Structures are given as C-alpha cells and as structure tokens.
Chain A
Amino acid sequence: MSEISERSYANSDVLVSTQWVADNLDNPKIRIVESNEDPLLYPSGHIPGAVEVDWTSDLNDPIVRDYISQDAFEALASRIGITPDTTVVFYGDKSNWWATYALWVFRLFGHTNAKIMDGGRKKWVDEGRELSREAVSYEATQYKAAHDRDDKTDRALRDDVLKHVQASGQLVDVRSPAEYTGEKLHMEGYPQEGALRGGHIPGARNIPWSRAANEDGTFKSADELRKIYEEEQGLNSGNPTVTYCRIGERSSHSWFVLSFLLGYPNVRNYDGSWTEWGNSVGVPIEK
C-alpha cells in the first residue's frame, strides 16, 4: 500500500503509519490506545506502552443503553493519563473497526486530537513488530472534557434518523448484503441480529464497511473510496449522511472514512442501528 500522504485523503493527518507509532512509543504527548472486538487480544500482547479501552467496560454505560456520561469519560481519560492536549492514537483488530468506534466516542466529548494507526493490530503483527504483555499504567491526570457529550454533531439518535428518512436523506447501511435484505433473520436455529424485523432503513444504500479496507487492514486510497461510495453507489459528498449497522460499531468505520478520508462535512453515526430500528414499533422498513 502507498504512503498515507500519497492517497489523496481530505484529512491525511488522522492516519498514522505503524512506523510513525514505532517512532513515537516514548513520546509523552502521544498515548497509544488499543481497542478490539476480541477482548483476549490486548492481554495476549500489545504495542509496548499501549493502554486498552474496552468498548463494553469502558465506553458504555453499565445500566442504560448509552455511552458513558461526561464524568465517566473524564474518569476514563484521567485513568489512561491523558490531557486534552494528548494525541490519542487508536488501533485494534478487524481493520480498526473498534478503534474507529473508540475514536468516535472520544470525539463525542470533544477529544478531537485523535488518530488511527493505519492497518491496525494486524499490520503491526504482520510486520513482526514488538508486542508486550507487561501491564501498562500512567500517572492519572485530572482530565476536563471540552464539553458534555455531544449527541448531535457526529451521532444520530432514532428520531433524528426518522426525520432524515422522511426528508429522503442519504443513508449508508454498512452491514452484509444478507443482513441488509433481511435474509439473515430467516436462518433457522442460529443467533440473529436480536431484531424482530429484517431489512433496512428505507432509502439506505448497502455498502459493507469492509470494502473501505485493504487485505492488510489499511484504508483504501481516496480515489478507490470515491469509486465505491460515489461512482458505484451514488453518494453525494455534500449531502447530510447517516451510517448504521447493527449496534453502530462497524458503521463508525464508514463514518470515519466518509468524514475524514473523503471529507464529507456532515456524517453522523446512528449507534442505535438495526438492533433499535428493527425492534422499534411503527418505523418504516424496506426489504
């Protein structure tokens, strides 16, 4: 894959290479954060000095289906020893699917000084770079979030999406084609989406999240991405866009691609996604 700077991204500074991370392991202004789909990966070995942010135990409210409050985010940020000036570099498994999710949650609280390590954990491992099993801790800080959780700018809630649908807004369903058509709900005897109805939100285009990633986990170039999202699927970069999947994790990857790599000015991630929409009474569905 070409160098990040050669891929014509709208905001190439949101990505850093594995070499850049290796060169900055001891930089006190940088905090490396691993976020994974598989909870066993970080304890099995991580980038030296990296801390873990776990989706279930760190970013979600333990009772309400929602993200943590401002207080809890400040406690988390303080625990991993960052300040608002710290550059947080996320990486993880699954082509950085969970890493983009963690970055998205950090942005809800105004921590915009955040980047993704291109290629994620897989690329680091494939390059034979060092992994450590040493426990990592930093001196706690007194982090003050820039603002309370912002549920409007990068996040869409169910009623926002309903209005968006009624206005024929641009939607991207990043699930697999079988999930998009609702076919998966009819596979007998296997765990499904946890939704009563199968299908997709009316008007949504089906662009599986993984199409934005190369085999090695790196992001495709801007030209390749435009070919997929715009030439093939007809997205208009200027239109407000909502991405969704099952619970908002895969769609955060596509949100990242559209917002930063392609520079769409108005993209929101609907984290309620299909587990909310497919269970909601009275909302419209297409198959």
Chain B
Amino acid sequence: MSDIPAKLQESIEDFSFITTRTERQEYLIQLAGSFDDVKVPERIAATPYDENHRVPACESDAFVWAEENEDGTLKFWFDVLNPQGLSAMAMAVILDQSLSGAPIEQVANVQSDIVLDFFGKSISMGKGQGLMGIVNMVVAEAKRRLNT
C-alpha cells in the first residue's frame, strides 16, 4: 500500500500541472465555491462550536470534525466562520475530497506541507501556518482513532 492516500496523490498531481499564479488562484476559488458540500451538518455540530474543534493558528476561524464511516474510515467535516476565508474553504474541500474515506493509517501519515503543493511555495508564512493547521487537525483526528 502506498504511503499517501490515492486521491491525495491524484489531487497533488492535478495541481502540479498548474503553471501560473492566476490559474492556481482560479482553481482554488472554484474549489472554495464547493465549500457548502463539506460544511459540518447540524447533526454533527452547531454553533457555538466546541473550541476543541477549532484549528489553532488559522486566522479564518476554521473548525474540523471527523465522523466514522461504517467501514471504519473517516468522513471529515469543516466550517470556516470568516466568510472571507476563501483559502481555508478551498483547503477544506481539498482535504475532504482527498482524505475522507481513505485508510486511517494513511491519513495519519499525511504531512502538513502538502499545503505548498496546492497553494504554491510563495504563500505567506502566516497563511501557510493556518492552512497547515487544518491539515494537522485532520491528521490528529486520524491518529486519535488509531490510538483508541
């Protein structure tokens, strides 16, 4: 079994073909437009959210939850309270598409620097840290399931 979830690998490869900043931005804006599909449903959580689900270092007030699927994998849910947090929304969509339903062992090994594969290496440190925080929260959920 590969170390990296197959869908994540595919997403990274898709982004590797992007050559311009404008193209990358357009793609990410398009992904952010699907955020409602990954927004946490009320049966999982309602505002005000439990602060344990808040992503540290994320300036867009992002939150992460994990729901167990019948096959033992996880479905990830998100919210981004800042309506202008487009990057966080795009990251949430990417993570849902890439990691929901993937083997937990693989999710637990995902590295936070995948953010750079999607947002480019020129992303500011603060923004990068916030987005990596979302990845880390997802990974932490997987690790927590593995350790229980």
Of the candidates B26, B86, B122, the one whose C-beta lies within 8 Å of that of A38 is B86
Which residue of chain A has the shortest Cβ distance to B136 in the bound complex?
A190
A191 touching B132 in the complex, CB below 8 Å, given contacts A43-B22, A249-B126: yes
Which residue of chain B has the shortest Cβ distance to A190 in the bound complex?
B56
Report how far A190 CA is from B112 CA in the complex, Å.
10
Smallest CB–CB gap between A227 and chain B, Å?
26
Interface string of A56-99 (1 = CB under 8 A from B): 11000000000000000000000000000000000001100000
Report how far A125 CA is from B140 CA in the complex, Å.
36
- CB of A191 within 8 A of CB of B112, answer yes
- CB of B84 within 8 A of CB of A191, answer no
In the complex, whether A194 has a CB less than 8 A from a CB of chain B is: yes
In the complex, whether A28 has a CB less than 8 A from a CB of chain B is: no
Of the candidates A41, A191, A246, the one whose C-beta lies within 8 Å of that of B86 is A41
Report how far A193 CA is from B62 CA in the complex, Å.
18
- CB of B126 within 8 A of CB of A247, answer yes
Which residue of chain A has the shortest Cβ distance to B143 in the bound complex?
A189
Which DSSP category, helix, strand, loop or mixed, fits chain B's interface?
helix
Which residue of chain A has the shortest Cβ distance to B130 in the bound complex?
A191
A194 touching B26 in the complex, CB below 8 Å, given contacts A38-B86, A39-B87, A40-B87: no
- CB of A194 within 8 A of CB of B125, answer yes
- CB of B84 within 8 A of CB of A39, answer no
Of the candidates B25, B28, B86, B140, the one whose C-beta lies within 8 Å of that of A189 is B140
Write out the residue numbers on chain A whose beta carbons fall within 8 Å of the beta carbon of B29. 40, 43-44
Write out the residue numbers on chain B whose beta carbons fall within 8 Å of the beta carbon of A246. 126
- CB of B84 within 8 A of CB of A121, answer yes
- CB of B123 within 8 A of CB of A191, answer no
- CB of B133 within 8 A of CB of A39, answer no
Of the candidates A43, A56, A192, the one whose C-beta lies within 8 Å of that of B26 is A43
Which residue of chain A has the shortest Cβ distance to B131 in the bound complex?
A191
Write out the residue numbers on chain B whose beta carbons fall within 8 Å of the beta carbon of A55. 124
Q: How large is the interface on B (under 10, 10 to 19, 20 to 34, 35 or more residues)?
A: 20 to 34
| Number of chain A residues whose Cβ lies closer than 8 Å to a Cβ of chain B | 26
- CB of A122 within 8 A of CB of B126, answer no
Q: Considering residues A40, A57, A190, which has the most beta carbons from chain B within 10 angstroms of its beta carbon? A: A40
Report how far A187 CA is from B133 CA in the complex, Å.
12
Within 8 A of A (CB), among B29-61: 29, 32, 56-57, 59-60
- CB of A37 within 8 A of CB of B126, answer yes
Smallest CB–CB gap between B87 and chain A, Å?
5
Report how far A57 CA is from B28 CA in the complex, Å.
18
| 28 sampled A-B residue pairs with Cβ under 8 A | A38-B60, A38-B86, A39-B87, A39-B127, A40-B25, A40-B28, A40-B32, A40-B86, A40-B87, A41-B84, A43-B26, A43-B29, A44-B29, A44-B32, A56-B122, A56-B124, A57-B21, A57-B122, A122-B84, A125-B84, A187-B56, A190-B133, A191-B129, A191-B136, A194-B125, A194-B129, A247-B125, A275-B125
Q: Which residues does B use to contact A, with CB under 8 Å?
A: 21-22, 25-26, 28-29, 32, 56-57, 59-60, 84-87, 90, 112, 119, 122-127, 129, 132-133, 136, 140
Q: Which residues does A use to contact B, with CB under 8 Å?
A: 37-41, 43-44, 55-57, 93-94, 121-122, 125, 184, 187, 189-192, 194, 246-247, 249, 275
Q: Can you list the 9 inter-chain pairs with the closest CB atoms, starting with the nearest? A: A40-B86, A190-B56, A191-B129, A43-B25, A56-B124, A93-B84, A44-B29, A191-B57, A38-B87
